[in-house]
Amino acid sequence: MEKRIVLISGVSSGIGKALASKFQKEGFTVAGVSRTAPSEDLKLDLWIQGDLTLPASRTEVLNSIRSKYGRLDVLINNAGKGIYEVWKNTSETDLRDIFELNFFTVVEMTRLFLPLLIEAKGTLINISSVAGKIHVPCMGPYCATKSALNSFTDTLRVELHSSGVRVLNIMPGRIDTGFSSRSLGSMTPPHTPGALLPEKIADKVFALFCSSRSELIYPSWCGLFIQLMKLFRGFYERQNIKRWGI
């Protein structure tokens, strides 16, 4: 059988790198795009350097996939970044910056590659966050981008039901990716132990891909946490006031 093609954004590190390794092990041809080159231990079938917030870079990626493979079976929108800042101190530049990568770039990459995915009856996988389901103080802009991404993914799934394209939403909790060190904003997040390895969620994402389900919250206890937060909102908010010193 012809090997299936997967394209992963933000492939150079973290979850993107772990996903690339996992899909390669499962027999996929893996193409990746990122601003910085992947480490030497990741041997991609195709790497494209680019800033996906730029329309010209997105078009270049599409043309590269079309010319080399002529098809696409899986698109994984993984690239993203965080911000640690209170709303009153968040600059318009930073707000637009984080929405551009975390939300608008995902929408535009999806629309650009939809014809190929529809032709292949392929799969779209969006990497969102548990933060899109809860309100984390001092991370409001990030939560807003992921909440918007959740809504985009869920509504798109319904709209594409007759096309044969699967739409999967991945909502990780704390994953050890160096997220904080690359985030925008002036605040330092409080220490929270228990970050999980990217390889763990990569395994879970592939298992979801092989199943009939369309959503993953990982680790699973985060789903319970979301429900408890809604039930005990006051307690949750008081604890966060203490943790962040606000």
Q: Which of 69, 84, 142, 236 is catalytic?
A: 142
Helix/strand/coil for 11: coil
Q: What is the crossing angle of helices 55-68 and 105-120, to 10°?
A: 20
Residue 142: active-site member: yes
Between the alpha carbon of residue 234 and those of residues 26, 194, 222, the distances in Å are 45, 24, 18
Q: Which of 9, 34, 128, 147 is catalytic?
A: 128
| H helices present in 29-71, as ranges | 55-68
Which residue in this structure is represented by tokens 């981008």? 145
How far apart CA 90 and CA 97 sit, in angstroms, is: 11
Contact 177, 129 (CB under 8 A): no
Q: Which of 180, 93, 197 is nearest to 139 (CA)?
A: 180
Q: Distance between terminal CA atoms of the chain?
A: 58
Q: Which of 17, 22, 146, 204 is catalytic?
A: 146
How far apart CA 51 and CA 175 sit, in angstroms, is: 23
How far apart CA 108 and CA 114 sit, in angstroms, is: 10
Residue 128: active-site member: yes
Residue 12: active-site member: yes
Q: Which of 12, 21, 34, 147 is catalytic?
A: 12
Active site residues: 12, 128, 142, 146
